[in-house]
Structure 1
Amino acid sequence: MSFLSLTSIKKSFGPVHVVHDFNMDIEKGEFVSFLGPSGCGKTTVLRMIAGFESPTSGKIVINGRDQNSLKPNQRNIGMVFQAYALFPNMNVHDNVAFGLKVAGTDKSEIDARVKQMLGLIKLEHLADRFPYQLSGGQQQRVALARAIAVKPQVLLLDEPLSALDAKIRVSLREEIRQIQQQLGITTVFVTHDQEEALSISDRIVVMNAGRADQIGTPFEIYNTPSTRFVASFVGTLSIIEGKVADPAAGAVTIGNQQIALKDPIAGMKGGDSISLALRPEAGSIAEGATGDTSLAGEVVSTSFLGSVIRTRLRVGGDVISFDMFNNPGVAPPVSGDNVTLRFAAKDLLVIRE
């Protein structure tokens, strides 16, 4: 039986439908990320779990108990917000202790728990400082410690890293994951950053216009996207338009070139339009590159991205991106070069929606 269950959840604000028939079961100790663009409904779902919003219809169950009729303070949920939300008139110790004091916990137990939490986030030496004396990353660590100090049954994280600079974001997300695994807290993490979701999640929910387009592991979401939206939103991906030449043979015509897919094309006939997707790391123009499929084209542009160089290649009416490792001894192609991109047929995904 799942620990956190969302069944047929819908949410409307007047005539505007924000969440449409959302269903998900989350296991105890699982780390699940809600990933999607602004306005897709991910934060609204999080707020309904917390009790800050009530579902228009549907049911939320945590550890076998119906939550719909419970107020936020009755749900034993810890929440970390994007804007830290620390009390400016309290030092670090008192901020972390706040929820425990509200719960009427004994002072000696509070002090022991706060010490444990500050040790967990490695800020024991800053217990007497006030929020204005801390960096953004330190403030968010304190907010995390405050949320988990009360031993919540579910931890909710609402884009907690978006206000931080890139390097701090990477280190803090790794710390959050480490702490979550150490404590075994069931966690729901909301983000619009695909790298964050892919790097720390057990499963990802890709949301689009109030619906869950796909739910799966990071490996599944990246490698086998189930919709055009997921394919285009998660990672860099080239969409190639073609025509079905022979569905039984998996033959597709792209511009004036014909290639064969790994499998027959089910549910389509000759002449039908077809959309294919290819990740930039799947192809290579290097001499001696392997691959059972190839497409010739003209280089449109190259972009230096540090460890890799991304090249855009015009094939037929589309532009395909592919990556090559930065090798100081090998000059990248330049605009106007005619090259052949080689890749494996299995790396071409058929996009159905």
Structure 2
Amino acid sequence: MAFLNIEHLEKSFGTNHVVKDFNLAIEQGEFVSLLGPSGCGKTTVLRMVAGFETTSSGAISIDGQDVTHLRPNQRNIGMVFQSYALFPNLTVAQNVGFGMRVAGRPKSEIKARVDEMLRLIGLPKLGNRYPFQLSGGQQQRVALARALAVQPRVLLLDEPLSALDAKIRVSLREEIREIQRELGITTIFVTHDQEEALSMSDRVVVMNGGVAEQTGAPFEIYNHPTTRFVAQFVGTLNTLSATVVDAKTGGVTVGETAIALNRPLDGAKAGETINLALRPEVVSLGRKDGRDTVLAGRLAEVHFLGSTIRMRVDVGGTLISLDTFNTPDTPPPQIGEAVELSLAERDLLVLSD
């Protein structure tokens, strides 16, 4: 049995069914992200695991113990919130040791643990400061130390980086992951930021409308999405309408271009329209060896992003995005210029609804 088990979890607020038959098994020491748009149910799942929300049905167990109906303080869970939630009238050290004081731990043990946590988060000399004297990134580090000080069985992180600026977010997510690995603590991380989820997680659960649409490693989620929503939500995606010619062999046409997918299209029939998708990075400007499908179009947009350039090409009324590396000596084509795109059939995804 996994260390943290969530089985058939449901949550309704009146007639609003916000979590539907949610199942997830997390191994000890695993870092799992719940990824999805606002309102998809990810924070509600987290709050039910923490005990801040009651379940409508289903069960939650930690290390073999059923905690479904236990109060939050009986579950031995650490939680970090988006808004830091530090006590403004307490010093950094007092904030970190708060949970241990409530638990009645000896002062000497509290001091030793607080000092250990402050070293862990890289703030060993700031114990006497107050939250208002810290930056946002420092405050979130303190909130993390407070959650870890009580030695919880599970760490829950509810969009802890969303209030920080871009550079601090990147550095802090790396620190959180490093600390999590060092401690080996089982962690659930809630975010709507796909880059955070993909870069930090052992596994990602993509949620939509209260349902877990797909669960898998970041590589699998990005490269092999199983539904249209996952494909479109995780990363940038080009979608193409294709007409089925031969469902058994995967023969289709996109506009006037014939494409052999070389795999059966289960449930499809000749003459039907299906949706294909491909990532911008697998599309090349011009002809390229190994990418035998060529589409003709006109350059519609050019977006300079620093190290990369994103272009959008109008192919028969469909805009297809592609990414190329910025080469200072080779400027991109001009908008309106006729261009060719090349791609490999193996990179085309068949989307399910």
TM-score when normalising by structure 1: 0.98
Determine the C-alpha separation between the residues in 2 that align with 1:277 and 1:245.
Answer: 18
Cross-structure match for 1:326 = 326
2:253 match: secondary structure: strand
Cross-structure match for 2:86 = 86
Cross-structure match for 1:176 = 176
Cross-structure match for 1:284 = 284
State which drifts further: 309-318 or 10-19: 309-318
Cross-structure match for 2:49 = 49
Cross-structure match for 1:187 = 187
Determine the C-alpha separation between the residues in 2 that align with 1:161 and 1:334.
Answer: 39
Paired letter, 1:117: M
Are 1:77 and 1:153, in contact at CA under 8 Å, matched by a contact in 2?
yes
1:264 Cα shift? Answer: 3.1
Figure out how many residues of one structure are paired with residues of the other and give that number.
353
Are 2:287 and 2:342, in contact at CA under 8 Å, matched by a contact in 1?
no
1:42 Cα shift? Answer: 0.2
Are 1:259 and 1:294, in contact at CA under 8 Å, matched by a contact in 2?
no
2:229 corresponds to 1:229: yes
Determine the C-alpha separation between the residues in 1 that align with 2:74 and 2:37.
Answer: 31
Determine the C-alpha separation between the residues in 2 that align with 1:115 and 1:5.
Answer: 33
Q: Which runs of 4+ in 1 moved over 4 A?
A: 286-289
Paired letter, 1:250: G
1:61 Cα shift? Answer: 0.6
Cross-structure match for 2:37 = 37
Matches for 1:109-258 after TM superposition, within 5 Å: 109-258=109-258
1:331 match: secondary structure: coil
2:84 match: secondary structure: coil
1:248 Cα shift? Answer: 3.0
2:329 match: secondary structure: coil
Consecutive unaligned residues in structure 1, runs of 5 or more: none
Are 2:288 and 2:342, in contact at CA under 8 Å, matched by a contact in 1?
no
2:265 corresponds to 1:265: yes
Paired letter, 2:87: F
Determine the C-alpha separation between the residues in 1 that align with 2:320 and 2:130.
Answer: 52
Task: Give the percent of matched residue pairs that are identical in Structure 1 and Structure 2.
Answer: 64
Determine the C-alpha separation between the residues in 2 that align with 1:288 and 1:11.
Answer: 51
Paired letter, 2:139: Q
1:289 Cα shift? Answer: 4.9
1:248 match: secondary structure: coil
Would the alpha carbon gap of residues 9 and 71 (structure 1) be closer, same or farther in structure 2, given more than 3 Å must change? Answer: same
Determine the C-alpha separation between the residues in 2 that align with 1:287 and 1:248.
Answer: 29
2:324 match: secondary structure: strand
For 1:3-36, what per-residue CA distance to the aligned partner results, in whole angstroms no more than 9, with x for missing partners?
1111110000011101011011011100000000
Paired letter, 1:337: E
Are 1:237 and 1:279, in contact at CA under 8 Å, matched by a contact in 2?
yes
Determine the C-alpha separation between the residues in 2 that align with 1:102 and 1:194.
Answer: 37
Paired letter, 2:38: S
Cross-structure match for 1:3 = 3
Determine the C-alpha separation between the residues in 1 that align with 2:11 and 2:117.
Answer: 36
Q: Provide the alpha-carbon RMSD of the alignment.
A: 1.1
Are 1:260 and 1:293, in contact at CA under 8 Å, matched by a contact in 2?
no
Determine the C-alpha separation between the residues in 1 that align with 2:280 and 2:8.
Answer: 37
2:105 corresponds to 1:102: no
2:284 match: secondary structure: coil
For 1:104-149, what per-residue CA distance to the aligned partner results, in whole angstroms no more than 9, with x for missing partners?
1111111111111000001011110000000000000000000000
For 1:184-242, what per-residue CA distance to the aligned partner results, in whole angstroms no more than 9, with x for missing partners?
00000000000000000000000000000000000010000010000000000101111
1:296 Cα shift? Answer: 1.6
For 1:262-290, what per-residue CA distance to the aligned partner results, in whole angstroms no more than 9, with x for missing partners?
42323212111010001000011146454
Determine the C-alpha separation between the residues in 1 that align with 2:87 and 2:180.
Answer: 24
Determine the C-alpha separation between the residues in 1 that align with 2:6 and 2:273.
Answer: 38
1:316 Cα shift? Answer: 2.5
TM-score when normalising by structure 2: 0.98
Paired letter, 2:153: Q
Paired letter, 1:300: A
For 1:246-268, what per-residue CA distance to the aligned partner results, in whole angstroms no more than 9, with x for missing partners?
22332211122222214232321
Determine the C-alpha separation between the residues in 1 that align with 2:134 and 2:280.
Answer: 41
Determine the C-alpha separation between the residues in 1 that align with 2:306 and 2:54.
Answer: 47
